[in-house]
Structures are given as C-alpha cells and as structure tokens.
Amino acid sequence: MTDITPPVNGQDIGRVERAGRVLLDRVLDAHHATFDEWVTLRSLALEQDLRENFFGDEARGDTALADLAAHGLVTRDPDVLTAEGTARYDAINADLVPITQRLYAGFSPDELATTGRVLREVARRAMAS
C-alpha cells in the first residue's frame, strides 16, 4: 500500500492554528478585546480585505465594524480606524510582537516565505472547494 500522507497535513496545520489562537486569545483577553474585533482592527490597520479575513462572511465583518464604530474605534463609509482604534490596534499588536518573534525565531526568511506561500495556496484551494 502506498502512503500518500504529505509531510505536512491538515492535522499539523490545525495544531499550529489552535496553539496560536490560545496565545492570541490570552493577549486579547488582557485587552478586553474579541477575536472579531482584532480581525477587524488588523484588517483596517493593514488595509486588508475584511471579507477575506472573515472568509467571505460579510455579515460577521459588518457586525464587527458596527460594534467598533459604536465604541468610536472606526468610522464608517469609508471604514477606517479612528485615533482610538489605531491606539487599540497598536497596544494589542505591541503585546503580540514578542510572541510572534519567539515563535518564528530560528527560521530563515526563505523558510518563512515558502511556508507562507504554501499555506496561502492551501487556504485558497480549500476556500475554492
């Protein structure tokens, strides 16, 4: 029988995602922020497509934007961070930077670039299914 299990599989990717989420949730809890709030703040701060970061769940993104707008962290039409929203993003991000640096320490830029490219392509294929 031929083993077709790739060297990296969905279980590996899921384990990494869950471990990273535990660390992220600890930081978000310390800032009294939700995951959806963070995804929205980060998407706006980095000028990324919010719908893509919510995997096409437009209602979820709209709810997160409305909640942040109600707290004065974003403006609507266009959706941009306010000064308070930028400060909140910066504070959370500052706590995440050392964690990220520790997790990725020792990997070469080429290793990280290849890993990122492969994971983005796997995600794209999964979303297209």
| pLDDT value of residue 124 | 87
Q: Which residues of the chain have pLDDT under 50?
A: none
Q: Tell me how far apart the alpha carbons of residues 61 and 40 are, in angstroms, rounded to a whole number.
A: 7
| pLDDT value of residue 126 | 86
- Select from 36, 49, 41, 27 the least CA-distant residue to 83: 41
| pLDDT value of residue 127 | 82
Q: What letters, b where the CB count within 10 A reaches 16 and e where it falls short, cover 3-35?
A: eeeeeeeeeeeeeeeeeeeeebeebbeeeebee
